[in-house]
Amino acid sequence: TTRTLLLLPGDGIGPEAMAEVRKIIAYMNAERGAGFTTDEGLVGGCAYDAHGAAISEGDMEKALAADAVLFGAVGGPKWDAVPYEVRPEAGLLRLRKDLKLFANLRPAICYPALASASSLKPELVEGLDILIVRELTGGVYFGEPKEIIDLGNGQKRGIDTQVYDTYEIERIAGVAFELARTRRNRVCSMEKRNVMKSGVLWNQVVTETHKRSYSDVQLDHMLADAGGMQLVRAPKQFDVIVTDNLFGDMLSDVAAMLTGSLGMLPSASLGAPDPKTGKRKALYEPVHGSAPDIAGKGIANPIAMIASFAMCLRYSFNLVEDADRLEQAIAEVLDSGIRTGDIMAEGCRQVGTAEMGDAILTA
């Protein structure tokens, strides 16, 4: 088999973190016959410098043709003043839109070795493993009308519109139920049906989708504000959480802080399966940004990027055992007391980006 990957390292620490994934790909090809072929492209500020656009049409074509895209990070002070349409983030937004990536997966995993770095008591988060499935292409971030109206007499009105159609809710619910089956078989759906019509519909459609095709999975519903409270009070009660774009944005950031450092958090964004091949378009990226404050120093934590590649193995290529091995290797290295600066703790040994990557590869 050949498996095609497009690597888009981007700006700042993106290329430094991606270099560690490249080592793992080379190992898997040489030692395990994984058959990955990789191509490279530019995204973000570096693409703007080269082409005057946050991603070139040629690289967009490569992204559309690849089995999966690995994305580093974009942005930095150098590009703070570039025009809005070509700002670094525009490259990521274009990829999400053209690849139709409607499902954003954000795991919140607390490695035992890092439980004491959480904002919560270690016993509340040790062994935590939840997956937030956020709808990414609909809802209030995209609904029309979306504008600021001048009302005269010095008053203006800002308008955003929350819109969800049945098919959008069905397909995101389907992703959540399918993922739950590969985990602990439980889904909690979060909305605000008490004050939002779109929340009433969300609740109905998730319930019907469950009844129709996924009744083997345990389904619960929670109001999103109460869900936020429960995430902080007792996060281990959750397995998969499915929610809309806005609530998912906030709840996944809350969940992120349960687990310690930004340098640890992976994510995946998935599209619909191709009707012919059954393959989904997908993009994998760390949650963190380009970290200009530490870029170029070789000290960034590559784990978020490496764990994003583990998600790629799992979800794009069904290489479940390899994904498990890679995640296990991360846990072992942390257990052995090796740390990058952002997760450094007393009694541990501090290493740079490359040494962390090598330790994980060796494990």
Which residue in the set 179, 294, 307, 356 belongs to the binding site for ligand NAI (CB under 6 A)? Answer: 294
Q: According to the annotation, is 85 in a ligand binding site?
A: yes
134 is in an annotated binding site: yes
Q: Considering the rule CB under 6 A, would residue 76 count as an interface residue with ligand NAI?
A: yes
Dihedral sign computed on CA atoms, order 119, 121, 122, 127 = negative
**Residue 360 in tokens:** 């994980």
Report if residue 289 touches ligand NAI, rule: CB under 6 A.
yes
Assign 25 to helix, strand or coil.
Answer: helix
Does residue 249 belong to the site contacting Mg ion (CB under 5 A)?
Answer: yes
Nearest to 68, CA basis, from 268, 233, 236: 268
Answer with the entry of ligand NAI, Mg ion, none that 312 interacts with (C-beta below 5 to 8 A by kind).
Answer: none
Nearer residue to ligand NAI within complex by CB, 162 or 308: 308
192 lies in the binding site for ligand NAI (CB under 6 A): no
CA 169 to chain centre: 19
Q: Which residues are designated catalytic?
A: 141, 192, 225, 249, 253
Residue 292 sits in the site that holds ligand NAI (CB under 6 A): yes
CB of residue 333 vs Mg ion: minimum separation in angstroms?
28
Report the Cα 289 to chain-centroid distance in Å.
12
How many chain residues touch Mg ion (CB under 5 A)? 2
| 69 belongs to the binding site for ligand NAI (CB under 6 A) | no
Q: Name the segment binding ligand NAI (CB under 6 A); options: 153-161, 201-209, 286-294, 311-319.
A: 286-294
The residues in 125-154 that bind ligand NAI, with binding defined as CB under 6 A, are none
| Three-state secondary-structure class, residue 18 | helix
Q: Does 62 bind ligand NAI (CB under 6 A)?
A: no
55 makes contact with ligand NAI (CB under 6 A) = no
Rounded to whole angstroms, how far apart are CA atoms 332 and 18? Answer: 21
CB 325 within 8 A of CB 56: no
Q: Is 52 exposed, middle or buried (0-12, 13-18, 19+ CB in 10 A)?
A: exposed
The one of ligand NAI, Mg ion, none whose footprint includes residue 66, by CB under 5 to 8 A per kind, is none
Convert 82-118 to b/e letters by CB count within 10 Å (16 or more is b): beeebbbebbbebbbeebebbbbbbbbbbbebbbebb
Say if residues 16 and 306 touch (Cβ distance below 8 Å).
Answer: no
Is 183 annotated as a binding-site member?
no
**Cα–Cα distance, 358 to 338 (Å, whole number):** 11
Binding mask 327-356 for ligand NAI (x = CB under 6 A): ---------------x--------------
Shortest Å, Cβ 180 to ligand NAI? 26
Residues binding ligand NAI (CB under 6 A): 13, 73-76, 92, 262-263, 285, 288-294, 300-301, 304, 342
